Amino acid sequence: MIECKNLSKVFNQFTAVDDLSFVANKGEVLGFLGPNGAGKSTTMKMITGFLQPTSGEIKVCGIDLFSDPIAVKNKIGYLPEGAPSYDEMKVCDFLIFIAQMRGIPKEMIATKVDEVIERINLNKVYYQRIETLSKGYKRRVGLAQAIIHNPEVLVMDEPTDGLDPNQKHDVRELITSMAKEKTIIISTHILEEVHAVCDRAIIIANGKIVADNTPAELENMSKYHNAVTFDATIDFSLLEEIKAMGCVRDVEYDAKRKKTTVFPAQSIYIFDEISGFLKKHKISVTRLSMEAGRLDEVFRNVTLDDVKEVA
Amino acid sequence: MSAKMAIIKRELQGYFSTPIAYVFIVIFLMLSGVFAFYLGGLYERGQADLSPFFNFHPWLYLFLVPAVSMRMWSEERRSGNIELLMTLPVKQSDLVLGKFLSAWIFVAIALFLTFPIWISINYLGEPDNGLIFASYLGSLLLAGAFLAIGSCISVASKNQVIAFILTAVICFLFLLAGLPMVLDFFNAWLPQFLVDTIASMSFLTHYISINKGVLDLGDMLYFLMVISVWLYATSLVLDMKKAD
């Protein structure tokens, strides 16, 4: 469990993190979302004890970070941004080094390293120097060092950044498989990832929390939530008729792709009404679907709000 | 294995897995030999001692030690590894000390490899081996002081070239603090007791006094103190600079 209370970080008058408070519970994957420079990484660096907050409190598994940093660092596995490691070392030597630094007893080190190699699938590159590895493997080495001591808390800064779709899938699967018995925080600016792995998402903009919801709740905030889309050749007069329906707020028509999107009033469920209407007028539809909502639109809305206000 | 030992071992492997270690050792051995025999006239003097050999060590260290120390921290900061190191459950003092000790051990290995010159002089005559031992100790302490300065500069700069040059300049000032070229600069505007203090900080004065065989506790303590102060400074600068 991670508790942050009124966390702030100021770098020479620039406020990177501004009065952040949140709790991440065991068994939860918490996603930090936000534009670049929003303060995601800075927050993670403070939780892992790399940076000293300007003010505020951090507790990890009930231990106060400032009164016992070593105990807290023992509980955390951390994958820094870009997954740094010692290029000139071999994968096995690097993992053994981390295990020694983490104070794993000598007789356990070989077992722990083997376990983690197996789990992250690093067998093939066991004796390779890290500088010769591909980006995907380097990232996996970073992940391996973060979980070698089976930490209760896992903090990962953009774990899938720069990976190809297969590698992304692997990393996400790994995160999901560990989610039950750990507290996990990941940061990302890839919105699909929120759906794929997170139970909860905190959107940060300019150092402040602007949204703290489950991914489904975030989608509910979208104007596309419960919107109905269909592909069909349709007269403008009929579109006007749809627009005039009580349950409809607005209609958008993409003439090029013959795609119509109907937005409901107050995000209510209008799928039956629209499909009934299309049937009644005998319009042949090639596709008819309801949207859950678009995260990217919500993301843009909540993170650009401040900018709009100023402008 | 304690964390400090793990760092020392990793750092030493780091030195030897790059050409730095071999370049350093070869150049150090060649130059120390060349200086001792050609400039110092070790053989022609006809005296069974190694002072021509040890006299040139400060000048060798002046440009070789910064080459070892420059990447100690700046490389970690550049590569982002510093974030990894400092989020491990290890005390900061262990990191600073571990890195310094591994560099010191490395220089000690290079120094140890000069033993053929000691065998030669014992073959040629009957030198005072106690004195030679003291001189080796003095040389090692001087290298340690340079390395501690280098450690602090390396943590302050991400750029290795800047770290190298600054370390060499600061070591040079400390080395020559007792000579007129440095003291004259301060004489004009500092009270006498401060000028004396600066003069007493000269590495060269302390080094020469150890080399003469006067194994004074004060001289050795002086170097150990210099090392502690600069390592403490390293720790402070690390706190300030690690984030940027």
Q: What is the pLDDT of residue A309?
A: 45
* Chain A nearest-CA residue for B75: A86
| Candidates B6, B83, B239; nearest CB to A84 | B83
Token pair belonging to A29: 């994957």
A contacts of B239 (beta carbons < 8 Å): 52
Q: What is the pLDDT of residue A305?
A: 63
Taking the CA atoms of A270, A275, A280 and A283 in sequence, report the sign of the dihedral they define. Answer: positive
Q: What is the phi/psi pair of residue A121, to 5°?
A: 65, 55
- Tell me which of B216 and A40 has the higher pLDDT: A40
Q: What is the pLDDT of residue A311?
A: 39
B contacts of A89 (beta carbons < 8 Å): 10, 13-14, 17
Contact status, residue B182 vs residue B173, Cβ threshold 8 Å: yes
B contacts of A11 (beta carbons < 8 Å): 243
Distance from CA of A130 to the nearest CA of B (A): 13
* Chain A nearest-CA residue for B78: A84
Q: What is the phi/psi pair of residue A5, to 5°?
A: -125, 120
Are B87 and A86 a contacting pair at CB < 8 A?
Answer: no
B57-69 vs B92-112: helix axis angle to the nearest 10?
140
* Chain A nearest-CA residue for B76: A86
- Taken as a whole, chain A contains a residue count of 311
Chain B interface mutation, best of A101, A129, A157, highest count of B Cβ atoms under 10 Å: A101
Q: What is the phi/psi pair of residue A98, to 5°?
A: -60, -40
B contacts of A100 (beta carbons < 8 Å): 1, 3, 5-6
CB pairs < 8 Å spanning A and B: 71
Pick the CATH number of A228-291 from 3.90.550.10, 3.30.70.100, 1.10.420.10, 3.40.250.10: 3.30.70.100
Q: What is the pLDDT of residue B30?
A: 93
Q: What is the phi/psi pair of residue A207, to 5°?
A: 80, 0
A contacts of B17 (beta carbons < 8 Å): 88-89
Amino acid at A300: R
Chain B contact residues (CB < 8 Å to A): 1, 3, 5-7, 10, 13-14, 17-18, 79-81, 83-84, 86-91, 239, 242-243
Strands (E), A70-194: 76-79, 153-157, 183-188
- pTM (2 d.p.): 0.87
Are B86 and A100 a contacting pair at CB < 8 A?
Answer: no
* Chain B nearest-CA residue for A72: B89
Give the separation between CA B232 and CA B244, rounded to whole angstroms. Answer: 20
Report how far apart, in Å, the C-alpha atoms of B96 and of each of A169, A201, B6, B154, B228 are: 39, 38, 13, 12, 11
Check: complex ipTM more than 0.85: yes
* Chain B nearest-CA residue for A69: B89
Task: State which residues of chain A have pLDDT below 70.
Answer: 305-311
Distance from CA of A194 to the nearest CA of B (A): 25
Q: Is the pLDDT of residue B80 over 80?
A: yes
Percent of chain B with pLDDT over 70: 99
Q: In 10 A of CB B177, how many CB atoms?
A: 19
* Chain B nearest-CA residue for A142: B84
- pLDDT digits 0-9 by tens, B196-211: 888 888 888 888 888 8
**Contacting residues for B229 by C-beta, under 8 A, at least 6 apart:** B148
Mean pLDDT of B48-69: 90
Residues paired with A252 in a beta bridge: A261
Domain spans of chain B, in order of start: 3-241
Domain spans of chain A, in order of start: 2-220, 228-291
Chain A interface mutation, best of B84, B93, B102, B239, highest count of A Cβ atoms under 10 Å: B84
Give the separation between CA A275 and CA A184, rounded to whole angstroms. Answer: 42
Give the separation between CA A120 and CA A181, rounded to whole angstroms. Answer: 18
B contacts of A81 (beta carbons < 8 Å): 80
Report how far apart, in Å, the C-alpha atoms of A192 and of each of A10, A33, A143 are: 31, 11, 21
Q: What is the pLDDT of residue A310?
A: 42
B115-124 vs B129-156: helix axis angle to the nearest 10?
160
* Chain B nearest-CA residue for A9: B243
Give the separation between CA B35 and CA B55, rounded to whole angstroms. Answer: 9
Contact status, residue B121 vs residue A134, Cβ threshold 8 Å: no
Question: Exposed (0-12), middle (13-18) or buried (19+): which is A257, by Cβ within 10 Å?
Answer: exposed
Are B3 and A100 a contacting pair at CB < 8 A?
Answer: yes
Among B74, B18, B98, B15, CA closest to A131: B18
Contact status, residue B86 vs residue B155, Cβ threshold 8 Å: no
Q: What CATH number was assigned to the domain covering residues A2-220?
A: 3.40.50.300
Query: Strands across the sheet with A200-205, in order?
Result: A76-79, A153-157, A183-188, A29-33, A200-205, A208-213
Q: What is the pLDDT of residue A306?
A: 55
A contacts of B5 (beta carbons < 8 Å): 100
Among B84, B222, B74, B218, CA closest to B141: B222
Distance from CA of A128 to the nearest CA of B (A): 14
Q: What is the pLDDT of residue B93?
A: 93
A45-54, B16-25, B173-182, B220-229: least confidently modelled range:
B173-182
| Candidates B1, B13, B87; nearest CB to A100 | B1
